[in-house]
Every structure is written in structure tokens, then in C-alpha cells.
Amino acid sequence: MKLFVKEKCEVKETEVEIRCRTRDREVDALIAGIKNAASFLVGEKENGDLCQVPVARIFYFEAIEGKVFAYLEKELIRIRSTLYEVESTYQSNHFVRISKSVVVNLRMITNIRPEEGRRVRIEMKNQEYLIVSKNYVSDLKKALGMKEGK
């Protein structure tokens, strides 16, 4: 793969063009990565201020008592979506559901370890640990390319 970057003063908005012989997994991964880097989410801080956060900075989403929160490295913001909406919106951006109440960013995982009862423990880049419910282990493995299918 070759990569070219050209800066042009007259361009009003960043444009990305991918040239390929055929659209394959590598191209799809590039597209997903570019979309992920360019997508933002609006959330509410604890003090009520609204903020715009790059989706790529989110470690995971969690639903608690009917509210959905996005966890960043050292911040927590509330978002106005259901966990189901989050899952369907960001699954192509390397997010996968790991339990009934959590959707995790695969790019923030540093370590995966089996636990008792067919569950899995994952360590995040911020040294936080999350448990993958046994019902979602297969989905996690598929998303990480450890298992056939998708």
C-alpha cells in the first residue's frame, strides 16, 4: 500500500480518496478507520455543559439506570442515545457489545484473559478492566478476527 498526502490551500474541507484494484478487507478497514477518526459525538459533562468528543477517544459506553455514558481516559460524559443506537451506529468504528450494558472500543483494549464461567476479562489502555459476558465472548472474538464470521 502507498500513502500520499497533499496539502492544498484552496481546499475548504479535507478530502480522502482511496484508489484500489478491488475493495477488500484492507480497504474496508481503512474506510472504517477514516470514518472513526473523523466522527464526533455530542455529550453532556457532569456540570451540564455540552461537549464534542472524537469517537476514537471513547474507551466504552455503558448503560446505567436508563442513561448511557461514554467513558474517556479520565472523563465521563452522558449521551442522549440508547445503548442499542450506540451499538448499531459505531459497530463499523471498532465498537462491539461485551455485555447487556457495555459496548467497548476494540482499539482501546490492551489485554484479554479468560475468566471462570466462560467469561473474558479485558484490560483497557487506561488500566481499567471490563468483563465480557459469556453470551458476548463469541461476538468479541469475531470482531477481533479470532473467530470466523462477522
Sign of CA dihedral 108, 112, 118, 119: negative
In angstroms, the CA 71 to CA 9 distance is 36
* Residue 23 cell numbers, joined: 475493495
- Are 128 and 59 contacting, i.e. CB atoms less than 8 angstroms apart? yes
- Are 86 and 103 contacting, i.e. CB atoms less than 8 angstroms apart? yes
Give 35-78 pLDDT, tens digit per residue: 766 688 899 998 999 999 998 899 999 999 999 999 999 899 99
pLDDT at 134 over 80: yes
147 pLDDT tier (thresholds 50, 70, 90): confident
- Residue 72 CB-density burial (10 A; 0-12 exposed, 13-18 middle, 19+ buried): middle
**HEC assignment per residue over 95-115:** EEEEECCEEEEHHHEEEEEEC
Residue 77 C-alpha from the chain's centroid: 15
Q: Which amino acid is at 110?
A: T
CATH of region 25-143, choose from 3.40.50.2000, 2.40.50.1020, 2.60.120.460, 3.10.105.10: 2.40.50.1020
Residue boundaries of the structural domains of the chain: 25-143
Q: What is the DSSP letter of 124?
A: E
Ranges 35-49, 102-116, 127-141: which has the least confidence? 35-49
Q: In this structure, how many other beta carbons lie within 10 angstroms of the beta carbon of residue 122?
A: 21
**Terminal-residue alpha carbon distance, the chain:** 25
pLDDT at 150 over 60: no
Residue in 33, 38, 75 with CA at minimum distance from that of residue 58: 75
